[in-house]
Amino acid sequence: MNRNTILAVLALGATLAVAAGARAAPQDVLGPDDARHLLARTGFGPTAAEVSALAPLTRAAAVEQLLAGTHKTARLPPPTSMLALDPLRFPGPNATLEERRAFNQRNNREGLELRAWWIQEMLTTPSPLTERMTLFWHNHFVSSQQKVRFARLMHGQNVVLREHALGSFAALLHAAAKDPAMLVYLDVAQNRRGEPNENFAREAMELFTLGEGRYAQQDVKEAARAFTGWSVDRETGRFVFRRGMHDAGEKSVLGRSGRFDGDAVLDVLLAQEATADHIVSKLWKEFVSPDPDAAQVRRIAAEFRRSDYAIKVALRELLTADAFYAGENRGVLVKSPVELVVGALRQLDLAPSDGLPFAIVASGMGQNLFSPPNVKGWPGGESWINANTLLARKQYLERLSRADAGMGPAMRRTAEMDDGSGAQAIAAVFDDDRERRTRTGRTIERGMRDAAFDANAWVAAQSASEGDRARAVRSLLLPLPPQSPGPDEAPPAILVRTTLLDPAFQLK
C-alpha cells in the first residue's frame, strides 16, 4: 500500500465516521451534522460559517469553545431610558387621568425600547448561548412588565440574569430573589411582619428551587416570615431591607429551624437535593429532549451540587452527553417563537436595523418578551404550536423568504400577519386603541422591508457546487429530512421558502 492509498483510506474513514453522526464517539470530531445540532440547540439557528468553524472540533472542545465565548454583559448598550434615575412612583389614588396616561405611555414606550434592544442583542451577539441562557432564566425567575410596569426594573432584572446566566446558580438565586422586578412581581414588598404575603415564598420553593410537591404549605408560611422586610426603595429603585417590618422570630423550614432571614431560607432550599434535580431536569428539557433521563439527571445533578451549582458544569455534562447527540433526540424540540424569529434572521444572514418589529412578531406567536403569561412562564414544547401560533409562524417565514420587498401586495399581506393576536399579547405595553393595530402593522412591515432577503445570493453562498445547493440548504435549515421537499432544481427563492415552510423547520 503506498502512501497515497493510505491517505485515501484514512480520509474515507474520516468521512464515514462523520456520516455515521449519532454513532460518533466523544473523542471524534463533531462533523457538520453534530456541529449543526449543537449550534441549533445552544443558539438561534446556525449559519454555514458557524457550522464549518465547529465541525472539526471534538465534542468537548466544541462545547468548551461555546462556554468560553459566553459573557456577563450585553454587547449592545441599553436604551438610554433604562438609565434614568428618577424615583419609581405609581400614580397615586388622587392622580389625574393625564398623570395616569403619562405614566402608562412612558412605561409602554420604554417597554418597547427594551424589547427592541434585547432582540437586537440576540440578533447580533457573538455568543447566542449567553442570550439563550438569559432567556432560560427569564422563564425561570419569571417577572412580567404587565405587573411590574416599570420597564427600567425589567431591564435591571435582565442584567442580573445575564450576569449570572452561566455562573453560579446559588448566586443567581440570591440575586434574582432580591431583584426589584421580582420583589414587585411576587409582592415581596407587601410581605411584612404580622401580615405575611406568601406569594414569593411559595414560588421560590415550587418554581425556583425544589419543584412542585417537595414542600408543605407550612414551609411556605414559615418561609414567608423570613422574607418579611425585603422591599424596594422607591427613591433609588433598589433592594432595601426594612428591619422594622422583618419578623426576626424562629422559623422552621423543611425540617431546619432558626431565626432565618430570607437569605438563610434560600440557603436551606439550596441544600436540598431536589433543587439540583429540578434545575438539571429543566435544563435537560431546554437542551436535550422533552423527556429527561432520570438516572442521567441524578448523575448530572450530583456534579452540579458538588460544583457549588456551577451552571457551566451542568451544561458541559448535558452538551457532551451521548443522549444529546442521539439520533432519536434530533428534531424533537419545538423552537420557541423568539428562537424561530431570531434564528431565521440569523440563518438567512439578515441584519435588520430595528429589533422591535421582530419582538412584536414573536409576541403574536405567543412569546411577548418581558411579559410571560404567569409565574410559571411560557410552558413551551408542543404547547407553542396551536392553530393560531402555527399560522403566525408560517406567515412570518413565508414573508421573510420572499425576495420581492415590494410595497403593494407585500404591505397588504404583512398587515394581515398582525391579526390582532400580536397586538393583543403585547397589549400590556400598548394603549388599547385602534391606532395601535395600524401602528403595529406598519412597524412589522418596516422591519420586513428592512430585512429584505436576497435568495439568489444566499443560496449561491451555501455551496460552491450548484448541484449540491438544495441538499446544503436543507441540511443547514432542517434538523430532520424535509417532510415535503420540493424539487432540487427549484429556483433559490422557492427552495428557501419550501424549506422554511417545511414542518421540520419548526423543530430543533
Partner 1 sequence: MRDNTGMVNLARRTLLARSAALAAVTSFGSARVAFAAAPATARERRLLVLVELKGGNDGFNTLVPYADAAYAALRPRIAIARDAVVQLSDAVGLHPSLAPLLPAWREGTLAVLQGVGYPAPNLSHFRSIEIWDTASRSDEFLSDGWLARAFAAAPRPATFAADGVVVGSNELGPLAGTKLRAIALADTESFQRRARLAKPAAATGNRALAHIRRVEADVREAAARLSVQREFAAAFPSGGFGNAVRTACEVIANPSGVGVVRLTLDGFDTHANQAGTQARLLAELAQGLVALEAALKELGRWDDTLVLTYAEFGRRPKENQTGGTDHGTASVHFALGGTVRGGLYGAMPDLSRLDDDGNVAHTLDFRSVYATVLQRWWDIGARDVLGGRFEEIALVRA
Position 431 contacts partner 1 (CB under 8 A): no
Position 206 contacts partner 1 (CB under 8 A): yes
Q: Tell me how far apart the alpha carbons of residues 110 and 114 are, in angstroms, rounded to a whole number.
A: 6
Q: Which of 318, 465, 327, 348 is nearest to 33 (CA)?
A: 327
Asked if 210 and 272 count as a contact pair (C-beta separation under 8 A), the reply is yes
Position 420 contacts partner 1 (CB under 8 A): yes
Asked if 444 and 414 count as a contact pair (C-beta separation under 8 A), the reply is yes
- Closer residue to partner 1, CB minimum distance, 109 or 376: 376
Name the one range near partner 1 by CB under 8 A: 8-16, 55-63, 339-347, 382-390: 382-390
Which residue in the block uniquely carries the three cell numbers 407585500? Answer: 410
234: number of Cβ within 10 Å: 14
Contact residue for partner 1 among 408, 432, 435, 467 (CB under 8 A)? 432
Position 307 contacts partner 1 (CB under 8 A): no
Min dist CB 269 to partner 1, Å, is 17
Position 331 contacts partner 1 (CB under 8 A): yes
- Closer residue to partner 1, CB minimum distance, 54 or 504: 504
What is the SS3 assignment for 192-246? ECCECCCHHHHHHHHHHHCCCCCCCHHHHHHHHHHCCCEEEECCCCEEEECHHHC
Position 440 contacts partner 1 (CB under 8 A): no
Pairing label, strands 251-253, 238-241: unpaired
Which x/- pattern over 125-164 shows residues binding partner 1 (rule: CB under 8 A)? ----------------------x-----------------
- Report the SS3 class of residue 33: helix
504: number of Cβ within 10 Å: 18
Q: Which of 280, 293, 324 is nearest to 38 (CA)?
A: 324
Contact residue for partner 1 among 106, 109, 174, 376 (CB under 8 A)? 376
C-alpha radius of gyration, the chain, whole number:
24
Name the one range near partner 1 by CB under 8 A: 23-31, 297-305, 327-335, 453-461: 327-335
Asked if 278 and 302 count as a contact pair (C-beta separation under 8 A), the reply is no
Position 226 contacts partner 1 (CB under 8 A): no
Min dist CB 220 to partner 1, Å, is 9
Name the one range near partner 1 by CB under 8 A: 232-240, 303-311, 422-430, 448-456: 422-430
Contact residue for partner 1 among 266, 360, 392, 455 (CB under 8 A)? 392
- Closer residue to partner 1, CB minimum distance, 22 or 501: 501
Contact residue for partner 1 among 47, 190, 307, 320 (CB under 8 A)? 190
Position 504 contacts partner 1 (CB under 8 A): yes
Distances (CA, A) of 457 to 164, 341, 454, 461, 502: 40, 21, 6, 6, 21
Position 421 contacts partner 1 (CB under 8 A): yes
Which x/- pattern over 469-498 shows residues binding partner 1 (rule: CB under 8 A)? -----------x--xx--------------
Distances (CA, A) of 56 to 1, 15, 76, 478, 485: 27, 12, 31, 21, 29
Which residue in the block uniquely carries the three cell numbers 402555527? Answer: 390
Which residue in the block uniquely carries the three cell numbers 420597564? Answer: 151
Position 507 contacts partner 1 (CB under 8 A): yes
- Closer residue to partner 1, CB minimum distance, 48 or 369: 369
Min dist CB 425 to partner 1, Å, is 8
Position 290 contacts partner 1 (CB under 8 A): yes
Q: Kindly state the greatest CA–CA separation across the chain.
A: 93
Position 198 contacts partner 1 (CB under 8 A): yes
Min dist CB 147 to partner 1, Å, is 8
Position 22 contacts partner 1 (CB under 8 A): no
Burial degree of 282 (CB within 10 A; 0-12, 13-18, 19+)? middle
The binding site for partner 1 (CB under 8 A) comprises 93, 147, 187, 190, 192, 195, 197-199, 202-203, 206, 212, 217, 221, 290, 328, 331-334, 366, 373-376, 381-383, 385-392, 394-395, 398, 416, 419-421, 424-425, 427, 432, 480, 483-484, 501, 503-504, 506-507
